[in-house]
Structure 1
Amino acid sequence: MHRSGTTMAWNVFQFCTVLRGLGSIMILLVLGVVGVTYYAVVWTNYGPALSDGGLDSLAALTIIILFHFLLAMLLWSYFSVVFTDPGVVSPNWRSASDEEQRGESDPLNSLEFGGLQPDSSNQRTRFCRKCNQPKPPRCHHCSVCGRCVLKMDHHCVWVVNCVGALNYKYFLLFLLYTFLETTLVTLLLMPHFIAFFSDEEIPGTPGTLATTFLAFVLNLAFALSVMGFLIMHISLVAANTTTIEAYEKKTSPKWPYDLGRKKNFEQVFGMDKRYWLIPAYSEEDLRRMPELQGLDYPSKPDFDSQDF
């Protein structure tokens, strides 16, 4: 029995190591799909139409401008998720109740041996045995990153990073712009894809035709898969939960952080409407909304911590 447990732990370690090693490969794969799509849309099919003149040229120009705008927002959001730390627990972080009890007793010892202390927001203070430190509310340990992540949603192989409090908005925008871009490309290349199976003569070299075919299939697949993830995360934002917390809610009859759809949305995207669709926050939102920092989250005033 002891040997079986050791083998299981070793397998989990190997799995986490493999996920970390996939990082550069996944980024190159994303850039590769972008490159194939760009070549098929701009260089092969719609770029040459700019010199035709008339309405065809105007339509091609409009398509190319829209394509580049969505692509720029997609890449901006993507690399914002990749290079933004999702949020880590400061080594000297303590909950409000721990600060009040400092000097009277050692809160870490009581937490480590199973004692649970409610903080000022009437929530329980938790302790991570792997990081050997207290965990703020909604914080979880990531086995791949090897650390606790603030308001962790999941570890995403595609962005080579954890999705947490500080980059969750960027991840959602990445999903949104990916869905819009891939849907646009699918619609643009669909006539060319249908022409592959018709008897009409198709202009272009075998290489350009193959690239167009590949770009259509890839973008269609991404559009359908991302649509599912986007719908799922929209429902999570509306309920003010993360992917991990969605499973926790199944064992809890009440959820303390659901403050209504408007406030739930603002806790992720901020209150400044000018910044809702870009991967950034206004200085004013960062100053007046501590929940954007991933440590303090308002809960329902009538919520009882014993129910959670």
Structure 2
Amino acid sequence: MAWNVFKFCTVLRGLGSIMILLVLGVVGVTYYAVVFTNYGPALFDGGLHSFIAVVLVMLLWSYFTVVLTDPGTVPPNWKPASDEERGEVDPLNESEFGGLQPDLSSQRIRYCWKCNQFKPPRCHHCSVCGRCVLKMDHHCVWVVNCVGALNYKYFLLFLFYTFLETSLVTLALFSHFLAFFSDEEIPGTTATLATTFLSFVLNLAFALSVFGFLIMHVSLVSANTTTIEAYEKKTTPKWQYDLGRKKNFEQVFGTDKRYWFIPAYSDEDLRRMPALQGLEFPSNPDFDSEEF
């Protein structure tokens, strides 16, 4: 009997709420260890300690933005305006598909039989969310949400600030951690010492694990692809959405440099760049679809 992994989708939905509490728990332990136990007012005196506080704010801002932002849903009654698979620009009409029923043998359009609707380019069905997600990257239990077109930038910023924050906290608490293995008498109660030790270990573990994940997503952004697409095109020598590293970066972060490191977009970028909305994506003019 085949093992169906999708029967655990309900479990994954419930697990997400626990993950939010876990993230907040790690942040709380870190805050207590850094602010109350060791540094306190020094966080407002400038330098590394103040930077830790700023990064923590950016981490939480990015985290709750990706949690609360819908990754992108296919608009009701959406239909493709052109033949995406063959690169044709002639409008599609209902009669060609027999009343919105696509001919899958032609491989000319993408259709989701679970949602009973057409699928825009780069859109995939998420079995956990139970719907199609625009430019879906993956479903992340840590954010209780899918990562897609409308919140991918926020997810990347969450990874970036998590790595930065955990690395800085690890550095700040390193001397306190070494003190546990010295012959010196360490001031503080047993509870505060245990919190400092736990915070160092947790932040070091998160820094190491997030670093690998961050590097992977940096490579995906540089190629203008997603985790799902990277798996699907692993044998494909070319990728039609690869516009060059600079433009690939802008397809996710926008062109306004003032917004690159905050979980938001400028109004101008939202108007000028359809890719940020998840329905239309510019293609490399040198890409020859007939090769595939």
**Same structural fold, with TM-score higher than 0.5 when normalized by the shorter chain:** yes
Residues 37-75 of structure 1, C-alpha deviations (whole Å, 9 max, x = no match): 00000000001xx4xxxxxx5996544421221011000
Q: Does residue 304 of the first structure (1) align with residue 288 of the second (2)? A: yes
Q: Is the 8 A contact 1:36 1:211 kept in 2?
A: yes
Q: Distance in 2 between matches of 1:217 and 1:208?
A: 14
Residues 168-187 of structure 1, C-alpha deviations (whole Å, 9 max, x = no match): 00000000000110000000
Aligned length: 285
Q: Distance in 2 between matches of 1:225 and 1:129?
A: 37
1:305 is displaced (CA, Å) by 2.4
Which letter maps to 1:109?
Q
Q: Which residue of 2 aligns with 1:121?
A: none
Q: Does residue 105 of the first structure (1) align with residue 110 of the second (2)? A: no
Q: Distance in 1 between matches of 2:116 and 2:291?
A: 27
Note the 1:190-209 alignment, pairs <5 A. 190-209=174-193
Q: Is the 8 A contact 2:44 2:50 kept in 1?
A: no
Match of 1:157 among 141, 144, 150: 141
Note the 1:64-75 alignment, pairs <5 A. 64-75=49-60
Larger of the two Rg values belongs to structure: 1
Q: Is the 8 A contact 1:136 1:295 kept in 2?
A: yes
1:200 is displaced (CA, Å) by 0.7
Distance 1:59 1:161, change over 3 A: closer
Q: Is the 8 A contact 1:259 1:299 kept in 2?
A: yes
Note the 1:1-308 alignment, pairs <5 A. 4-5=1-2, 8-9=3-4, 12-13=6-7, 15-47=8-40, 50=41, 61-97=46-82, 100-106=91-97, 108-111=100-103, 113-117=104-108, 125-308=109-292
Please, which runs of 5 or more residues in structure 2 have no aligned partner?
84-89
**3-state SS of paired residue (2:143):** coil
Which letter maps to 1:291?
A
Residues 196-225 of structure 1, C-alpha deviations (whole Å, 9 max, x = no match): 011111100111000000000000000001
Please, which runs of 5 or more residues in structure 1 have no aligned partner?
51-56, 118-124
**3-state SS of paired residue (1:162):** strand
Q: Distance in 1 between matches of 2:120 and 2:231?
A: 19
Q: Distance in 1 between matches of 2:43 and 2:56?
A: 20
Distance 1:255 1:206, change over 3 A: same
For structure 1, which segment, 64-73 or 213-222, has the greater mean C-alpha deviation from structure 2 after superposition?
Answer: 64-73
More helix by share: 1
Give the TM-score taking structure 2 as reference length: 0.93
Q: Is the 8 A contact 1:110 1:116 kept in 2?
A: no
Q: Which residue of 2 aligns with 1:53?
A: none
**3-state SS of paired residue (2:132):** strand
Q: Is the 8 A contact 1:254 1:307 kept in 2?
A: no
**3-state SS of paired residue (2:101):** helix
Which letter maps to 1:298?
P
Give the TM-score taking structure 1 as reference length: 0.88
1:302 is displaced (CA, Å) by 2.8
Residues 65-107 of structure 1, C-alpha deviations (whole Å, 9 max, x = no match): 2122101100000001000000011121111137823254226
1:251 is displaced (CA, Å) by 2.9
Q: Is the 8 A contact 1:156 1:163 kept in 2?
A: yes
1:306 is displaced (CA, Å) by 3.1
Q: Distance in 1 between matches of 2:237 and 2:107?
A: 20
How large is the RMSD of aligned CA atoms in angstroms? 1.7
Distance 1:58 1:168, change over 3 A: closer
Distance 1:283 1:208, change over 3 A: same
Q: Distance in 2 between matches of 1:75 and 1:276?
A: 16
1:116 is displaced (CA, Å) by 2.5
Distance 1:58 1:18, change over 3 A: closer
